[in-house]
Amino acid sequence: MTVSDASAVPLLSVRGLTKLFGSFAACNEIDLDIAGGEIHALLGENGAGKSTLVKMLFGVLQPSAGQITWQGQAVSIGSPAEARKLGIGMVFQHFSLFEALTVGENIALSLDPKISLAQISDEAASLSKAYGLPLDPKAHVADLSVGERQRIEIVRALLQNPRLIILDEPTSVLTPQEADRLFETLFKLRGEGRSVLYISHRLEEVRRICDRATVLRHGRVTGACDPRQETPASLARMMVGSEIAEVHREVLAPGEVRLDVSRLSVPARTPFGVSLKDVSLSVRAGEVLAIAGVAGNGQGELFDVLSGEVTVSDAKAIRIRGRDVGDLGINGRRLLGASFVPEERHGHGAVTGMPLSDNLLLARSQSDRKSFLGGGIFSVIRHASIRSATQRVCAEMDVRKSGEDPSAGALSGGNLQKFIVGRELDRQPALLIVNQPTWGVDAGAASRIRQALIDLAKAGSAVVVISQDLDEIFEIATNIAVISEGRLSEPYPAGTLTLERIGLLMGGIHETHSGGEAAHAH
């Protein structure tokens, strides 16, 4: 690739960059140029090599072969500290903040210990104001929204005066309004001659803000383009090498109530948790109820209570298929035909050290397991039946794996997510509750998962989807509710909401149940 001005020296250049894990090449002879003053997108499926590449650029991993050049000089980046010293900053998708500390204290942890906290706080406040990222250095992180926490990470990176900032899925936790403010900051950085390497699965925003894009597939560079001249479909096609199936949704006449929650209030279990406040919802067969919200507003707590991981004393507060289940655990709810997909894949949705077949068996209810057990006085596990069911799930969801029955941890994140969702769909549940169904999943896998959820509802199940992805919500939902600070709004028919309105609800604007004037939550 060449930069826009052929005579200019790229800010960063890599040639033949390769990273081997045993005999597997996560990155294979990658060539990439990033010019000064550009926002450069890095696109690719799950497992394409994006994370491995940026970890080498930031000194977290060391390349097996190839060369990194910084401002025309060959460099070896042995650690994140060396990367920062060169002028490379990175904001990871998952924040590394201490909730009990203040904003200023968190920022100070990554800077020179000789600089006083007062000076760091003053500089952070000044810089955050200059870049439109308002922060109070004295505020405790535990009291901040996810969007505000992301500002801390960006300000912390900017205080090190980087020439290149790497952002990994930066808008996945933001409302549309917060994303717009982030984009304004990125345009300001570009105007100062700084560069941004931008990783995102949200192709519309890539088209909106990025000057160039490099596409990885199976660890290799397979293309480059000006994303402003592409469509989301053409960008997705470059990423996966084929057309992405469109998701088709039908609005059906709703059937019987499968899940009914009435005035559910649950106190926070930890000092930094979120209390659920007077939550009510009802979902019928054939419906997909999507619950939108910015991360950290009670989604995890709501899922835990709905799934039975956390029980409540009032059995009548939650009803599944007409049965009071508030005091029933997960297995009791599974016996009523409910299935659950948690947000965290590793260790929660799956036991990473166990093979896929064992993970499938563990997630079955007692009645489901009978089909995998032989008769007689002593029950014998029918391993062939379990393996057959596992292969059926993998084929149905296009789970790509190495070997017939690998451990769950051997799968990429997107493929493990497809397996976990497919495992629950294979039960043909009457009710499915899924938290962040396509978190960190590429366009092809996301399309398959979303269509599977729609098809389940079409077949007569009730589906509850908790998601931060507004594109996803509008694509699959029949009704949409918004959770903010542990409160759940009334549900709205999907066709009646705009991005702006749902963004305001996500930001804490609550409308009265009677449809009166909106009131701010704060």
Cα separation, 323 vs 108, in Å, equals 53
The SS3 assignment for 93 reads: coil
On whether residue 350 sits in a domain, the answer given is no
Write the CATH number for 29. 3.40.50.300
Helix/strand/coil (H/E/C) assignment for every residue in 417-458? HHHHHHHHHCCCCCEEEEECCCCCCCHHHHHHHHHHHHHHHH
Identify whether the C-beta of residue 459 lies closer than 8 Å to the C-beta of residue 451: no
One domain for residues 332 and 442? yes
Per residue of the chain (522 residues), what is the pLDDT tens digit?
A: 433 444 479 999 999 999 998 888 999 999 999 999 999 999 988 778 898 999 999 999 999 999 999 999 999 999 999 999 999 999 887 778 898 899 999 999 888 888 899 999 999 999 988 888 888 999 998 888 777 888 899 999 999 899 999 998 888 767 777 888 889 999 999 999 999 999 988 888 999 999 999 999 889 999 999 999 999 888 888 887 766 666 766 666 789 999 999 999 999 887 778 899 999 999 999 999 999 988 778 999 999 999 999 999 999 999 999 999 999 999 999 999 999 999 888 888 999 899 999 999 888 866 666 666 655 544 556 778 888 999 999 999 888 887 889 999 888 777 889 999 999 999 999 999 999 998 767 777 888 899 999 999 999 999 999 998 888 899 999 999 999 989 999 999 998 988 888 878 887 665 544 344 444 443
Give a yes or no: residue 246 inside a domain.
no
**Per the domain annotation, does 349 fall within a domain?**
no
Q: Which residues contact 138 (CB under 8 A, 6 or more apart)?
A: 102, 103, 104, 121
Residues 319 and 443 in one domain: yes
In a domain, 89, yes or no: yes
Domain boundary among 183, 214, 240: 240
- Domain extent, residue 163, equals 12-240
Helices (H), 8-145: 50-57, 80-86, 103-108, 117-130
Does residue 33 form part of some domain? yes
- Give dist(CA 418, CA 396) in Å, integer: 9
Same domain, 139 and 234: yes
* 346 belongs to a structural domain: no
Instruction: Please say which residue of 240, 273, 293 terminates a domain.
Output: 240
